[in-house]
């Protein structure tokens, strides 16, 4: 009897695994599950992106389910385990995903001011005595999500390149979560400096969240390739073509504004080699 039960349990588990694998491998699913950047509350993101959802449903003749995970790591894992067909990643989190899962393909990058690149910035309190990056040695420095490009990877690259500071020993890393938390921590002098996206800082200033008289730029980065939308490689070629056309033809400002984009342009994997090179220079493991 015990052997029969064991065999039955094994058969059920095997069936679940096979079913899950089959679902994960559908090339033309009725519903496309799309993950958005987890930089605001899930309720807010789903609500403000309803026009985006409706636009894609009309253009693709598919059901669209918008998904917001708790952070970049959980979005990477959801994609790896077949729970997403598409996702809006940061450059670093995309490279982290691609390093451990090859069934992913970037196809569109958001555009701002006609460009598919943006910058990271290091800021200090406006009355700080610090004017050069090397003066941050031994200080607390605020960063965002560990998988963030412009609020972790690139700020650390700037600290190493322009200040000759070793991230492993020359300053204290303080991961604060979102970009706005980094800006607020600097403004309120809870950290000596902080790194975040320049477009997001400008947005926080425009919205009155950050007082521009209380923070000061200490370094700005070289251009960074913009956030990519990705889909599974094994989606049906015709479906992928329709998805690309829907993105590249999107001009409605009401749909684009919540995505912080003016439009979308083609992008491919090689655009993110600069991210891979930076992680190598900083001895950062893409597997973590």
SS3 282: coil
Q: Give counts: helices (H), strands (E), the chain.
A: 11, 13
Predicted local confidence at residue 8, as pLDDT: 40
pLDDT digits (tens), the chain, 288 positions: 444 444 443 443 334 333 444 444 589 999 999 999 887 778 888 999 999 999 999 999 999 999 999 888 899 999 999 999 999 998 989 999 999 999 999 999 999 888 889 999 999 999 999 999 999 999 999 999 888 889 999 999 999 999 999 988 999 999 998 899 999 999 999 999 999 999 899 989 998 999 999 999 999 998 999 999 999 999 999 999 999 999 999 999 999 999 989 999 999 999 999 899 888 878 777 765
The whole model's pTM is what? 0.74
Question: By C-alpha distance, which of 64, 9, 25 is closest to 232?
Answer: 25
**Could you give the domains of the chain?**
28-111+225-281 (3.40.190.10), 120-222 (3.40.190.10)
For every residue of 175-230, which 3-state class applies, written as one string? ECCCHHHHHHHHHCCCCCEEEEEHHHHHHHHHCCCCCHHHEEEEEECCCEECCEEE
């Amino acid at each position: 009897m015990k052997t029969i039960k064991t065999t039955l349990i094994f058969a059920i588990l095997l069936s679940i695994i096979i079913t899950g694998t089959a679902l994960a491998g559908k090339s033309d699913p009725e519903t496309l599950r799309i993950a958005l950047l987890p930089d605001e509350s899930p309720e807010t993101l789903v609500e403000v992106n309803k026009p985006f959802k409706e636009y894609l449903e009309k253009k693709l003749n598919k059901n669209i389910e918008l998904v917001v995970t708790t952070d970049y790591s959980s979005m990477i894992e959801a994609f790896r385990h077949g729970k997403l067909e598409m996702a809006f990643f940061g450059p670093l989190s995309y490279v982290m995903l691609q390093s451990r899962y090859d069934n992913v393909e970037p196809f569109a990058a958001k555009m701002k001011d006609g460009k598919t690149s943006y910058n990271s910035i290091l800021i200090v309190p406006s009355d700080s005595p610090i004017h050069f990056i090397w003066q941050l040695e031994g200080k607390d420095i605020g960063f965002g999500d560990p998988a963030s490009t412009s609020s972790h990877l690139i700020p650390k690259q700037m600290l190493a390149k322009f200040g000759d500071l070793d991230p492993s020993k020359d300053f204290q890393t303080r991961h604060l979560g979102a970009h706005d938390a980094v800006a607020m921590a600097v403004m309120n002098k809870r950290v000596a400096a902080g790194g975040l996206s320049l477009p997001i800082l400008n947005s926080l200033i425009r919205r009155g969240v950050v007082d521009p008289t209380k923070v000061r730029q200490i370094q700005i980065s070289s251009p960074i390739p913009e956030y990519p939308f990705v889909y599974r490689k094994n989606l049906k070629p015709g479906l992928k073509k329709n998805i690309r056309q829907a993105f590249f033809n999107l001009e409605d400002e009401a749909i684009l504004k919540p995505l912080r984009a003016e439009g979308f342009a083609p992008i491919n994997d090689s655009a993110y080699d600069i991210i891979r090179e930076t992680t190598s220079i900083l001895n950062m493991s893409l597997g973590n």
